[in-house]
Amino acid sequence: MLDIYPYYARCNTRITITMLDIIKSNPESYSHKTGGFYDSIAAILDHLYISNLNWIKAFSEVIETSLETEIKNTIIPEYGTKVFRNITEADTGIRKTLTMSETICNEIKETDIDKIMKRKRKNGEVIEKTTWKALIHYFNHQTHHRGQISEILDEMKIQNDYSNMIFIE
């Protein structure tokens, strides 16, 4: 059953890279203003990057990973921070988190999935969840935000059918 985590990580990477490539091919979409909670694709990607790093840090506290030093040395911006100036920077940053996610999911052991992990939310609340539930949430959270981006691209009439996980492997 451990195969599910590397599978999710690989699919998440491929789908997200496809999405990023669509945005890079349509650079006007990156800063296009919307009426949503996040006012642009840029804001969603900033949020995803920050959130991904926070989750990766939390996972590294319960999963022994070869990324321990890298994660410890990574500065995580505060939620709401404007992180990237353009889609090229966003692409680089998001890809880094995707690679880190894949590494952690490839290194997870059976004894890790039932460990209780803690994560401090932006409002200061500390949540405690079993690692396997947190991992599923982590990937679902990214799916949710890719859906928001898909809607923005749809509104801009930009073809973006990138979400079919079933066709990846």
Return the pLDDT at 165.
Answer: 79
Cβ atoms within 10 Å, residue 128? 9
Q: Count Cα atoms within 13 angstroms, Cβ side, for 128.
A: 3
Of residues 84, 22, 20, the one with CA closest to residue 47: 84
Number of domains in the chain: 1
pLDDT of 146 reads 97
Q: What is the CATH number of the domain that holds 70?
A: 1.20.120.450
Q: Any residues with CB less than 8 A from the CB of 95 and at least 6 apart, and which?
A: 17, 20
pLDDT of residue 64: 95
Phi-psi region of 124 (alpha: psi -120 to 50; beta: other; left: phi over 0): left
CA-to-CA dists, residue 66 to 17, 27, 63, 101, 163, angstroms: 23, 35, 10, 12, 30
Could you tell me the pTM of the whole model?
A: 0.94
Structural domain range at position 41: 4-167
pLDDT in tens, the chain (169 residues): 799 999 999 999 999 999 999 999 999 999 999 988 999 999 999 999 999 999 999 999 999 999 999 999 999 999 999 999 999 999 999 999 999 999 999 999 999 999 999 988 878 899 999 999 999 999 999 999 999 999 999 999 999 988 877 777 7
Residue 149's Cβ-count burial label (10 Å; 0-12, 13-18, 19+) is buried
pLDDT given at position 36: 87
